[in-house]
Chain A
């Protein structure tokens, strides 16, 4: 029935299934409130649950911390994620591949679109300073980077991509209230589809901490990168898709996001 290893949470010994959980209920703190917290935990599959902390907030709310054993299992063979489907290259290899195969600089345009003013993501990928000990894309000799900064409108982004003859457009979205990040990305991909024929359209790459990496197709973009993505991963992906990486089987057609398992 199950194909792969099965896991459950680890507290301090294998298989104990222990989790911690915190939440607030809209009731003042009393015996009944504690009972309600334990009942909620039980319904969530935490059994037995221990209430380790309860504290009233204002006169109508109580905050709880619960520790307990969950009765759920995870079969790792059924877990579906987007695995990295391109080889991770060094800056030197990336520069060399672009020089050899493209024979010009690869043009990258980046921006935060919509009203989002958080340039932290796009700067981490593009600025020389970089992220997680890796230098940003501006550091790569063979990449020509245009960082448009924050609050760039979609028409301005399209115009800038055209002016820079962008091979790739990188868009970062941090603010997610009311799914603003999803609306903005859909608007962006639609604008590029409308403005340019498919064979001239730059590669559209989106990043941000709250994106679901499997939604690329639905949002009309080529790739989504989630939290923790490093500049080198992005550069490797761009090279893989746009000039083809040296790895066997690395032709562009096979580069569509593969789903593991």
Chain B
């Protein structure tokens, strides 16, 4: 296990001496592999956490009193968002990768989420009650 417990190197991230003023980037051999990835133990824990959250999601689905409560939908959405974030940050290495990759993903993701919420309002599935 020692092999995987030492953090594997990343790849495709920043080249060393990244471009300054638009100059040609000349990565020095494998110095380009600058970003560390999670270790095997971290991957294992991520898998366990994802499984545990999924079990809880399905479990609360079968509790009629909880399904009828106002907490049901927010709880599911929060758990789903946590799972989503964990996979993106650890399995997709976004936590360890370049900021440009984060921007390329989170930008369209924000547009996508805003689009879904806007359409829900537009078609009357969501409403904000103003006044009494």
A, B assembled together:
no
Write the residues of chain A forming the contact surface with B, with a CB cutoff of 8 angstroms. none
Binding site for A on B (CB under 8 A): none
